[in-house]
Amino acid sequence: MKEFALIFRIGDIADFTPSPEQMKERMEWLATMDVQHKLVDKGNSLLPGRGSAKTVKADNVVTDGPYTEIKEFIVGYVIIWADDIEEAVAIAKTSPVFKIGGNVEVREILGRE
C-alpha cells in the first residue's frame, strides 16, 4: 500500500460554509474510509514537486498534474492508503466536495514507507 494525499479545493472561499448536513456527510465519508482501513492519521507529510499527481473534477473528469488556477482555494486534505494512484482516484471520486463545486487533487506521498 502507498500513501496518497487528497487535497480538496473550491473555486470561491465563500462556498466553504458547510451546513450541518454537509458536515455530517463529510464525517460519514471519512468514517467509511476509516472502517475500510483507507484513512491514515499521520502528520509531517511531504508532497513531491514532480511526479505522480492527478486532479479529479466534477462529473468524474480526471486530469494529469497538480495544476490549479489561482482562483482556487485549498480547503483541506486527508491522507489515505491505496494500492496505486488509480485506486486513490476512485476513492477521491466519492468525496462530497463535488456537491459544492470543488475538486480533489490526488498526490502520492514519498518517503514514508
Could you read off the pLDDT of 26-59 as tens digits, one per residue? 889 988 999 999 998 644 444 554 456 788 888 8
98 and 27 in contact (C-beta within 8 Å)?
no
The C-alpha atoms of residue 48 and residue 111 are separated, in whole angstroms, by 10
Helix (H, G, I), strand (E, B) or coil at 88: helix
Q: For residue 94, what pLDDT is reported?
A: 95
Strand 53-57 and strand 61-64: the pairing is: antiparallel
The pLDDT tens digits of the residues spanning 9-29 come to 887 766 566 788 988 998 899
Q: Where residue 104 falls among pLDDT bands split at 50, 70, 90?
A: very high
Average pLDDT, the chain: 81
Q: Domains, the chain, ranges and CATH?
A: 2-108 (3.30.70.1060)
Please report which confidence band the pLDDT of residue 85 belongs to, taking 50, 70 and 90 as the band edges.
Answer: very high
